[in-house]
């Protein structure tokens, strides 16, 4: 935890413009030279219901949400239902203020809209008393009134930003610029008036006693503010993907939307279809005909994709699928993150699975691993899946613009041209040996190059049945064993390529000589990375690895890591320790070395929770963690 | 220069080109109506000038799914009910291809019913042949979506209480722009209808009555059949949605009473196909997407050029 950091939380109801206001404010902080990281908390509801966005800003790099926060802008929920006794939802209007108090740090600031939140409700919160105890600085302001006076009520967000800027002693320049970019005419005028008015009222009428100020920093190069969904979409664009098919589902919809908006201007095709079975089947069909294609969904929709996924494996059709996890089972908690779909994504669809699964942890990894997924899929003719979650999908952080300055790669991988087809093996009747035995194709990595419909001399049959070299249905035992082994063995060759030709997708943190290790995967990596720093600052010796290669499993790296520690804690957002299970399955040992830290309450890990649980383990594992997490003992304990 | 030179290849085509050397003889039961579909395709394809390598046939699962094995074109034997989404995406990626989808009545009107409705609605430029034998054949004779009410089978021992699907009416309501019914026992009409369906620029749906001599012995062999265009008893305008709807309804009503009506039911040559519609809107590239990957001069857009909105 940096002392010099701002964690600003803007809270209101769904539909109150929390998301767009926070986006702009995060961008303003980034432009001012700070590193930013956002975290979005929202209900599955169009209007109303408590929602907040948190922006962590610091002069140093930030890779996770922080522990709690230090500035609350509570706008009130303008779409709140009437409070009724017995109703489980209680008083919604006050929630943006009341629900957020427990996590506010000592010395923190509270600004709330007294134009929307009633005095009696505030009185019920014992706010004064609690402020006294915690050294909070409370600023009630009639943001709604101010907005109404100069424009419209909905502009109270702007008033809130003006108050924030004044209290944090921030320059308005970047905020004004961003407003000018986003709007014009009377709307811009009113908003600017409200911004300045709020800023001045605070400076003139309020006395400051708080210490919190916006940190100052500087970027060496120009920065861009992006989410994991942006990065996945951009990775696919740069890899020449120009076909996407999908069906809306939170949180996967983000990538689907970005590409649907961009593809038509890039000669690409985006199809919104009747269901997810069709979506993945379309990706298969488009790829079969020679496009770089993708589809995706979240857990429930991905369940429907099991069929086409298996078909892609059997027909060796390259596709990239996305799975943006949210809390399950079934509809679960649609807008809350979880890492509970790992086992499902690894094994869904009948028969032995042969697929590649990457779990990126950061915005940069989302981009890189999406590109890698396309490369592997098209080279090895295998489905490649990016598994990520609601957290990574929607959290924004700054990345240097130059990171994206790369060459596109539209290469179709192991696909033949008509010229090359002339040299390839055919049977007597002219059918191309699409699924050739290795001695015919000359390929040593299990891949038999493919043709595309419409090419001269490439005729073959693709089928979900077991098939002969030309694709005809075959139940011959020798052919079966040959084809099956060839398909499965591609994973070994992919592992080899990943180990030998690419930088590792695993990220290592901490003290290399440490005896205590933390293992995590996907988006939980950020919180773990920060926790490792703190643990080492606290005098412990700890290291960590964030794993992205789920399949094929990075056996060498994981054995090395686990051999080097006495004890390891596996951190993941699910209730049944799925990744720990995968490690044991893949390595066949280390069960007695690994404990688990699990969280499945709908909120991602905060670094402090990882620190606390690691310290409990380091102290013998007797205590209970204070947070809503669960420590699962090692096998045999 | 095209990377797909089989497309648009103008030459004489011998129908024997469509017979695969690997598996020239089908495994369908003697007397099976599926032979009729195969034969009509082998006749219609050369007639309309489509070569084996510019044709992609996507099938589902069942006896009908074996069509691919006996028709030597590019083929994709997909999974049960899913031939349509695979087929229409292939057409979107490379619209030079002649795309034909085929499957049984369970495949198309049952498990794949949702895809059928939506592919028809979108009016993709392709042909969809449904082998309708009013039964699940390959799994040994269970009641299917088109089986008549009261049909008894091992899975419906008391006789089904369901009225059968109305394939033609469903197709019309969904938005198909060429709708016909033919029968394996009527090879000349079948060939003509298949040829028209292939030539049609939009979603052409052919409900093909294919008798199952093994599992549906009780059913008529769809003889005698009546061609509604040739018979004097029927007079309706195939371009009139209302008249077509009425004729379809009657055809579906009388099938299980022993009157087999066949022919063209609805033809709409005016509505643009989905591909055309999307091209006109600038949502699908003018040149086939698949060609672009082979074009060494193609300039590929970069995400780097989209970053301004994020800075």
SS (H, E, C) A529-559: HHHHHHHHHCCCCEEEEEECEEECCCHHHHH
Q: Which of A223, A237, A289 sits opposite B93 (nearest CB)?
A: A289
Give the confidence band of A17 by pLDDT, cuts at 50, 70, 90.
confident
Model pLDDT for residues B225-239, shown as the tens digit of each residue? 999 999 999 999 999
- Judge: A408–B302 Cβ closer than 8 Å, yes or no: yes
Task: Tell which residue, A336, A337, A301, has the closest CA to residue A322.
Answer: A301
A309 touches chain B (CB under 8 A): no
B11 touches chain A (CB under 8 A): no
Closest by CA to B72, choosing from A589, A470, A271, A377, is: A470
Range(s) for CATH 3.40.50.970 in chain A? Answer: 225-404
Q: How far apart are CA B50 and CA B45, in angstroms?
A: 5
| A1 pLDDT higher than 50 | no
pLDDT score at A416: 97
Residue B266 lies in a domain: yes
Q: What is the pLDDT of residues B22-34, one digit of tens each?
A: 888 999 999 999 9
| B128 assigned to some structural domain | yes
Find chain A residues with C-beta within 8 A of B52's C-beta.
459
CB contact under 8 A, B3 and A289: no
Task: Find the distance separating the first CA and the last CA of chain A, reported in whole Å.
Answer: 33
Taking only the tens place, the pLDDT of each residue in A317-343 is 999 999 999 999 999 999 999 999 999
Find the residue in A nearest to B52 (Cα): A459
B176 found inside a domain: yes
Identify the domain containing residue B265 by its residue range.
Answer: 23-310
- pLDDT > 90? residue A410: yes
**Mean pLDDT estimate for chain A:** 95
Interchain CB contact of B301 with A (< 8 Å)? yes
Q: Residue A453 and residue B90: Cβ atoms within 8 Å?
A: yes
- Please name which of B63, B103, B38 lies closest in space to residue B214, comparing C-alpha atoms: B63
**Chain A interface includes B113 (CB < 8 A):** no
Q: Is B285 on the interface with A (CB under 8 A)?
A: yes
Mark yes or no for CB contact A268/B289 under 8 Å. Answer: yes
Q: Does B16 map to a domain?
A: no
Q: pLDDT above 90 covers what percent of chain A?
A: 87
**Domain-embedded: residue B6:** no
Domain contains B10: no
C-alpha A80/C-alpha A92 separation (Å) is: 5
Taking a C-beta distance cutoff of 8 angstroms, is the pair B57, B74 a contact?
Answer: yes
Q: Which of A561, A534, A535 is nearest to A549 (CA)?
A: A561
Helix (H, G, I), strand (E, B) or coil at B189: helix
Q: Which CATH architecture has domain A225-404?
A: 3-Layer(aba) Sandwich (3.40)
Taking a C-beta distance cutoff of 8 angstroms, is the pair A56, A65 a contact?
Answer: yes
Q: Does B76 touch chain A (CB under 8 A)?
A: yes
pLDDT (tens digit per residue) in B87-108? 999 999 999 999 999 999 999 9
Cβ contact, residue pair B82, A459, below 8 Å = no
What is the model's pLDDT at position A441? 76
> Of all residues in chain A, what percent carry a pLDDT higher than 70?
100
Cross-chain CB nearest to B86 (options A284, A408, A410): A284
May I ask the CATH architecture of the domain A507-632? 3-Layer(aba) Sandwich (3.40)
> B51 in contact with A at a CB cutoff of 8 Å?
no
How sure is the predictor about B219, in pLDDT bands with cuts at 50, 70 and 90?
low
Q: Quick one: which of A59, A15, A22 has its CA closest to A40? A: A22
- Residue A427 has a pLDDT of 92
Alpha-carbon gap, residue B74 to B94, rounded angstroms: 13
Task: Tell me phi and psi for residue B286, to 5 degrees.
Answer: -65, -45
| Distance between CA atoms of residues A180 and A189, nearest Å | 9
Asked if residue B1 is part of any domain, the answer here is: no
* Alpha carbon A309 to chain centroid, angstroms: 22
Shortest CA distance to B107 belongs to which of B96, B99, B115? B115
3-class SS of residue B183: strand
Residue A283 touches chain B, beta carbons under 8 Å: yes
Residue B272 is given by DSSP the state P
Q: Residues A391, A604: contact at Cβ < 8 Å?
A: yes
Residues of B (179-198) whose Cβ lies below 8 Å from A: none
Q: Indicate if the pLDDT at residue A135 is higher than 50.
A: yes
pLDDT at A470: 95
Tokens matching residue B160: 């089904």
> Which residues of chain A does CATH 3.40.50.920 include?
507-632
Give the pLDDT band (50/70/90) at residue A77: confident
How far is C-alpha B64 from the chain's CA centre?
A: 11
pLDDT, residue A3, reads: 63
Strand pairing partners for A227? Answer: A396
Q: Could you give the CA distance from residue B173 to residue B116 in angstroms, rounded to a whole number?
A: 11
Reduced to 3 states (helix: H, G, I; strand: E, B; else coil), residue A416 is: coil
> Which among A223, A307, A462 has the least Cβ separation from residue B75?
A462
For B291, name the nearest residue in chain A, comparing CA atoms only: A290
B63 touches chain A (CB under 8 A): no
Size of interface A-B (CB pairs under 8 A): 238
> pLDDT digit string (tens) for A276-323?
999 999 999 999 999 999 999 999 999 999 999 999 999 999 999 999
The angle at the Cα of A101, spanning A99 to A107, to the nearest 5 degrees, equals: 160
Domain count, chain B: 1
Beta-carbon contacts of residue A463 (< 8 Å; ≥ 6 apart):
A314, A315, A471, A472, A473, B68, B75, B76, B77
Residue B53 lies in a domain: yes
Q: A209-214: long-range contacts (C-beta < 8 A, 24 or more apart)? A: A209/A137, A210/A107, A210/A109, A210/A137, A210/A167, A211/A107, A212/A6, A212/A70, A212/A71, A212/A107, A212/A108, A212/A109, A212/A167, A212/A168, A213/A168, A213/A169, A214/A6, A214/A29, A214/A32, A214/A34, A214/A57, A214/A168, A214/A169, A214/A170
B1 lies within 8 A of chain A by CB: no
Which residue matches tokens 């369970």?
B106
Quote the DSSP letter at residue A616.
H
Q: What is the CATH number of the domain that holds B238?
A: 3.40.50.970
Mean pLDDT of A542-556: 98
The arithmetic mean of pLDDT across residues B110-127, rounded, is 98
CB contact B86 to A (< 8 Å): yes
Tokens, residue B113: 């019913």
CATH of domain A5-205: 3.40.920.10
Q: With contact defined as beta carbons under 8 Å apart, do A216 and A253 qualify? A: no
The 10s digit of each residue's pLDDT in A373-394 is 999 999 999 999 999 999 999 9
Mutate to test the interface with B, among A23, A290, A311, A413 (most CBs of B within 10 A): A290
> Mind telling me how many Å the CA of B211 is from chain A's nearest CA?
24
Say yes or no to pLDDT of A602 above 50.
Answer: yes
> What's the whole-number mean pLDDT along residues A91-95?
86
Q: Do A456 and B282 touch (CB under 8 A)?
A: no
Cα A324 vs. chain centroid, distance in angstroms?
7
């Amino acid at each position: 935890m940096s002392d010099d950091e701002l964690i600003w939380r803007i809270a209101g109801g769904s539909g109150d413009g929390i998301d767009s206001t926070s986006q702009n404010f995060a961008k303003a902080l980034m432009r001012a030279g700070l590193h930013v990281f956002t975290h979005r908390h929202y209900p599955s509801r169009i209007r109303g219901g408590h929602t907040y966005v948190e922006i962590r800003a610091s002069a140093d790099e930030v890779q996770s949400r922080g522990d709690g926060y230090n500035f609350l802008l509570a706008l009130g929920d303008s779409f709140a239902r009437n409070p009724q006794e017995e109703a489980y939802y209680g008083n919604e209007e006050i929630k943006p203020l009341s629900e957020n108090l427990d996590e506010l740090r000592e010395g923190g600031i509270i600004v709330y809209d007294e134009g929307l939140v009633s005095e009696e409700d505030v009185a019920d919160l014992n706010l004064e008393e609690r402020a006294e105890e915690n050294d909070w600085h409370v600023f009630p302001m009639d943001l709604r009134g101010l907005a109404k006076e100069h424009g419209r009520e909905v502009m109270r967000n702007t008033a809130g930003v003006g108050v924030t800027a004044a209290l944090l002693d921030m320059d308005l320049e970047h905020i004004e610029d961003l407003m000018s970019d986003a709007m014009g005419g009377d709307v811009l005028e009113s908003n600017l008036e409200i911004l300045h008015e709020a800023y001045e009222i605070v400076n003139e009428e309020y006395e400051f006693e708080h210490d919190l100020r916006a940190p100052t920093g500087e970027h060496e190069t120009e920065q861009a503010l992006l989410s994991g969904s942006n990065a996945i979409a951009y990775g696919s664009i740069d890899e020449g993907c120009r076909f996407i098919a999908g069906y809306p589902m939170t949180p996967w919809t983000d990538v689907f939307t970005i590409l649907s908006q961009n593809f038509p201007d890039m000669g690409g095709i985006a199809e919104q279809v009747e269901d997810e079975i069709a979506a993945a089947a379309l990706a298969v069909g488009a790829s079969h005909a020679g496009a770089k294609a993708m589809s995706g969904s979240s857990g429930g929709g991905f369940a429907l994709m099991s069929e086409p996924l298996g078909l892609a494996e059997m027909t060796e059709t390259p596709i990239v699928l996305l799975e943006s996890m949210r809390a399950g089972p079934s509809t679960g908690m649609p807008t809350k993150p979880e890492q509970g779909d790992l086992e499902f994504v690894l094994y869904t669809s009948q028969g032995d699975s042969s697929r590649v699964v990457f779990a990126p942890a950061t915005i940069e990894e989302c981009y890189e691993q999406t590109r890698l997924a396309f490369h592997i899929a098209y080279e090895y003719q295998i489905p490649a899946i990016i598994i990520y979650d609601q957290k990574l999908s929607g959290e924004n952080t700054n990345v240097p613009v130059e990171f994206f300055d790369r060459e596109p790669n539209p290469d179709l991988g192991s696909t033949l041209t008509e010229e090359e087809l002339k040299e390839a093996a055919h049977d007597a009747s002219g059918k191309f040996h699409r699924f050739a035995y290795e001695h015919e194709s000359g390929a040593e990595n299990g891949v038999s190059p493919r043709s595309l419909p419409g090419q001269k001399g490439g005729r073959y049959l693709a089928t979900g049945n077991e098939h002969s070299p030309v694709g005809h249905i075959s139940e011959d035992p020798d052919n079966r064993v040959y084809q099956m082994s060839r398909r499965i063995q591609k994973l070994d060759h992919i592992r080899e390529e990943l180990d030998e030709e690419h930088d590792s997708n695993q990220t290592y943190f901490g003290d290399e000589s440490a005896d205590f290790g933390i293992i995590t995967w996907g988006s939980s990596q950020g919180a773990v990375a920060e926790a490792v720093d703190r643990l080492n600052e606290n005098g412990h010796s700890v290291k960590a690895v964030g794993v992205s290669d789920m399949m094929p499993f990075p056996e060498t790296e994981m054995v090395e890591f686990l051999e080097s520690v006495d004890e390891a804690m596996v951190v993941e957002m699910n209730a049944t320790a799925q990744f720990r299970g995968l490690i044991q399955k893949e390595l066949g040992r280390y069960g007695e070395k690994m404990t688990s830290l699990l969280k499945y309450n709908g909120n991602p890990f905060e670094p402090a929770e990882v620190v606390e649980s690691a310290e409990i383990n380091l102290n013998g594992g007797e205590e209970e963690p204070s947070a809503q997490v669960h420590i699962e003992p090692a096998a045999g304990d | 220069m095209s990377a797909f030179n089989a497309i648009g290849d103008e030459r004489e085509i011998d129908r024997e080109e469509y017979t695969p050397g690997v598996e020239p003889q089908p495994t369908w039961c003697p007397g099976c109506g599926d032979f009729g579909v195969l034969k009509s395709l082998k006749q219609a394809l050369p007639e309309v000038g489509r070569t084996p390598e510019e044709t992609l046939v996507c099938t589902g699962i069942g006896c009908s799914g074996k069509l691919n094995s006996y028709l030597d074109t590019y083929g994709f034997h997909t999974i049960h009910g899913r031939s349509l989404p695979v087929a229409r995406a292939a057409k979107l990626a490379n619209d030079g291809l002649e795309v034909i989808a085929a499957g049984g009545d369970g495949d198309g009107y049952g498990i794949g019913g949702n895809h059928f409705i939506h592919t028809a609605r979108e009016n993709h430029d392709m042909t969809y042949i449904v082998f309708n034998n009013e039964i699940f054949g390959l799994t040994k004779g269970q009641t299917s979506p088109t089986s008549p009410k009261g049909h008894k089978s091992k899975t419906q021992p008391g006789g089904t209480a369901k009225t059968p699907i109305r394939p033609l009416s469903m197709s019309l309501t969904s938005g198909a722009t060429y709708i016909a019914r033919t029968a394996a026992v009527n090879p000349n009409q079948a060939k003509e209808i298949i040829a028209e369906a292939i030539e049609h620029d939009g979603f052409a749906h052919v409900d093909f009555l294919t008798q199952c001599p093994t599992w549906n012995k009780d059913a008529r062999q769809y003889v005698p059949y009546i061609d509604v265009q040739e018979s004097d008893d029927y007079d309706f305008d195939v371009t009139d949605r209302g008249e077509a709807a009425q004729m379809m309804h009657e055809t579906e009503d009388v099938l299980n009473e022993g009157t087999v009506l066949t022919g063209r039911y609805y033809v709409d040559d005016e509505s643009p196909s989905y591909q055309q519609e999307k091209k006109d809107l600038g949502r699908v590239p003018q040149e086939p997407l698949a060609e672009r990957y082979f074009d060494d001069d193609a300039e590929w857009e970069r995400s780097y050029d989209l970053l301004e909105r994020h800075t």
